[in-house]
Amino acid sequence: MRSSSRPVSYPVQALGHRVNSIAALNLALHKRSLTQADSDAKMAAVIIPTFQSNYMGDGMMEFLRMLRGWGVIQSTIVVTVGQSVFRGFTENAYVNSMRTFPKESRDVLAADRRGENLRSALKDFDASLRPVKPQCQGMAELTYLTRADLASYDSTQVRFYAANNDMTSGGFAKFIEQANYAARILLAHFSILSYVLEHHLLGADRSFALRSGILG
């Protein structure tokens, strides 16, 4: 593509802007948040590149890195989560949105073909975990495996991504290693499962498209 005067590579510009934004965020994190506005600005600064990872080639590992940073900021920087403009972005808010899905809609879902399809899909997901279990050696893989297994039986157990923040720095680094094939299989599995659960329980208009974008 061209501007009025010279050729422009928009992907290169976007990547440069991303690098500069993350560098600026790292500098800002060394300063104490004195107000809720300061905290919200830092939250916005990490949320944007996290969602941007959806549009990057092979963006799953980058997505997890940014998500881990998001969790750190949310748990240590935000002054008062209940007063934050991003209070709906917390793990508890997300899980509660699944749990408080209107009972009438749940009843309809349980009775119609969509509910039957969902139950069938969850059984298939549970079966697909079995061959992966022997390959899971690290604590991080086993944690993800357990949470996915729970979700196959209880659709409110959608805490996959919170596992990132439960890992040590060394455990997380090992989990996202390129050669950790068991972890990559688990991540693909969880991404698909989370997308399916959200689509059925929240609807296409409220479910996040991150999983389909990254996997596509």
Cα distance between the two ends of the chain: 25
Give percent of the chain above pLDDT 90.
2
Residue 102 has pLDDT above 50, yes or no: no
Domain ranges in the chain are: 10-81, 92-215
C-alpha separations of 132 from 46, 51, 79, 123, 161 in Å: 32, 28, 41, 15, 19
pTM: 0.68
pLDDT at 67: 83
More reliable by pLDDT, 104 or 204: 204
pLDDT at 189 exceeding the cut of 70: yes
More confident position, 122 or 29 = 29
What mean pLDDT comes out for the span 117-143? 79
Given a cut of 60, is residue 101 above it in pLDDT?
no
Q: Are 159 and 143 in contact (CB under 8 A)?
A: no
Q: Which of 55, 62, 61 is nearest to 213 (CA)?
A: 55
pLDDT at 143: 75
- Is the pLDDT higher at 23 or at 102? 23
What is the structure's pLDDT at 140? 77
Residues across the chain: 216
Give me the chain's average pLDDT, please.
Answer: 73
What's the mean pLDDT in 73-84?
71
Average pLDDT of span 167-194: 83
Q: pLDDT: is 57 or 171 the higher one?
A: 171
